[in-house]
Structure 1
Amino acid sequence: MAIGYKQLLAEADAEVSSLTIEEAAARLEDPGLVFVDIRDPRELERDGLIPGAKHAPRGMLEFWIDPESPYHKDWFASDQTFLFYCASGWRSLLAAQIAQRMGLKVASLRGGFGDWRRADLPQAQREPR
């Protein structure tokens, strides 16, 4: 029998560390933590993002992480911890699990950008491309 998204999320949650929005906000200026927004570019343009966050679309993540890929992004080759987030925390939890399996130090933002916005934490705007 196939497994559903709830089981996938539970398994990822057991493997990946998560930060609350309060814990993440306290580390916003931490040079050892890179915020990575995996949402679709249209979501960033519509809703904004966490100041200083890198953008790595979920569909390209594995290719951007892998140094053997022609799409590799050098900033993923650092020894920093990558804090993945999306709108609610589900996509980013699964993305963080994959990134961790690929060798990165990771965490996931519990509650995602939605909780971040509702808490009125710092936000930046992204201009349409």
Structure 2
Amino acid sequence: MAKSLKALVAEARSRVDAISPTDAHKAARDGDVILDVREPVELDSDGAIAGAIHIPRGLAEAQADPDTGKANDALTAKRGGGGRVHVLCASGARAALAADSLRQMGYEATVIEGGLEGWKKADLPLKD
């Protein structure tokens, strides 16, 4: 049976934990990473999180896999117990799918509740 995007996201969310923007920000200061899976145009128009790793959703698995030759070193350092990855997008759907994929790849990944809007509502820092 074919699944809708809504069903795929719901299944992914059932397998990954969520974290508040404030707790994710604190965890990042302690060594975890924030992974923003929005597209570059979204970063330009809506703002980017200071200190976050920015990898568009379509490239997340390739850059999370150290064997692809395209890996992001800051991200792969967290694989297999090296710390947590807190994933963010605009609303949470792409973040849930990415966090679930990362979990299957050996990462401890969470979804940042509320996406970028939640981050902004918590009055957390963005890049200047």
Q: Name the counterpart of 1:100.
A: 103
The 8 Å contact of residues 87 and 109 in structure 2, kept in 1 or not, is answered as yes
In the TM superposition, residue 23 of structure 1 has moved relative to its aligned partner by 2.3
Q: Is 2:93 the counterpart of 1:90?
A: yes
Q: Name the counterpart of 2:63.
A: 64
TM (normalized to structure 1)? 0.87
The 8 Å contact of residues 38 and 89 in structure 2, kept in 1 or not, is answered as yes
CA distance in 2, matches of 1:21, 1:66: 26
In the TM superposition, residue 28 of structure 1 has moved relative to its aligned partner by 4.1
CA distance in 1, matches of 2:76, 2:122: 32
In the TM superposition, residue 25 of structure 1 has moved relative to its aligned partner by 3.4
1:34-66 CA-partner distances (Å, limit 9, x unpaired)? 001110011111111221111111111111111
CA distance in 2, matches of 1:75, 1:24: 17
Amino acid in structure 2 at the alignment position of 1:7: A
Amino acid in structure 1 at the alignment position of 2:7: Q
Amino acid in structure 2 at the alignment position of 1:96: A
SS across alignment from 2:41: helix
Q: How many residues align?
A: 124
Gaps of 5+ in 2: none
Task: Give me the identity figure in percent.
Answer: 37
CA distance in 2, matches of 1:93, 1:65: 15
CA distance in 1, matches of 2:121, 2:74: 29
